[in-house]
Amino acid sequence: MVAKVSGPLQRKCVKKEASIAASIKQLLECRGWEVKNTHGNTYQKGFPDAYCLHPVYRQRWVEYKRPGLGRYTKDQLIWFPVFERCRVGVWVMTEASEEQYKMLVSGKPNWRDFLKGKDWDVIGERYDWFERS
CATH number of 35-132: 3.40.1350
Q: Give the pTM.
A: 0.79
Calculate what percentage of the chain has a pLDDT beyond 70.
Answer: 81
DSSP state of 42: G
Q: Count other C-beta atoms under 10 Å from residue 25's C-beta.
A: 21
- Mean pLDDT is lowest, of 69-73, 118-122, 128-132, for 128-132
Question: What gap in Å lies between CA 130 and CA 133, rounded to an integer?
Answer: 6
Residues contacting 5, CB < 8 A, separation 6+? 12, 13, 14, 69
